[in-house]
Amino acid sequence: MPFGLRAAALVVSWEPGSDKAKQDGLYVEWSRPVRSRRIVRMFGAEMQLLKFADIAESLLLIPFGPKQIKPARTEQLLSGSLAWALVSLESDDELAQAAKDFKTWQAGLAQQALAKREIAEIERWRVKPTVHFTDEKERHSGIRAKSCSALRRAGNPTASDEITMA
């Protein structure tokens, strides 16, 4: 089965073009105020556990990319690394298991290799299309015909006059 990580997670990374750009780092604005922040040291990493106002779940920030040269904004929670996993936790009791699961899933891979592995995994699971179009014009005609047909079935007999495809 794809998606070997059980927890809901977002992996973000940034590859700056210069050493000067590395000082800027990833910048995040949360939609809710951070109510509490706790540093958690596990698996040789300094993770952060965040709690937000009016949100029951916590967010575990796991750094796994290269460290930044010198973060310009130390108040920025994502300033210490160029790649992070943001893992949603239903309860703080899940923290140790979620961190362990992430490290196992990561398998020591850097962000580029991890992305390549996960994309390949999704491609193995993706259903191959059975229809083959000769060109883009035919593909768009097929989409237009299906859209018109679906609208007609929905009770709109003039659907073909209402659809324009770019």
Residue 129 pLDDT: 75
Q: Is residue 3 part of a domain?
A: no
Residue 88 pLDDT: 94
Mean pLDDT by 10 residues, the chain (166 residues): 74 77 73 92 91 94 74 65 90 92 90 89 82 74 56 54 46
**Residues 148 and 116 reside in one and the same domain:** no
Q: Is residue 4 part of a domain?
A: no
Q: Is residue 140 part of a domain?
A: yes
Q: Is residue 1 part of a domain?
A: no
Q: Is residue 2 part of a domain?
A: no
CA dihedral over 73, 44, 117, 59, signed as positive or negative: negative
CA dihedral over 111, 116, 120, 123, signed as positive or negative: positive
Residue 79 pLDDT: 75
Sheet harboring 9-13: ordered strands across?
A: 9-13, 83-89, 58-63, 45-52, 34-42
The secondary structure of 72-121 as a DSSP string is: S-TTSTTTTBSEEEEEEESSGGGHHHHHHHHHHHHTT--HHHHHHHHHHH
- The backbone torsions φ and ψ at residue 51, rounded to the nearest 5 degrees and listed phi first, read -125, 140
Q: Is residue 71 part of a domain?
A: yes
Range of the domain at 109: 9-125
**Residues 94 and 147 reside in one and the same domain:** no
- Residues forming a β-bridge with 49: 38, 60
**Residues 77 and 154 reside in one and the same domain:** no
**Tally of structural domains, the chain:** 2
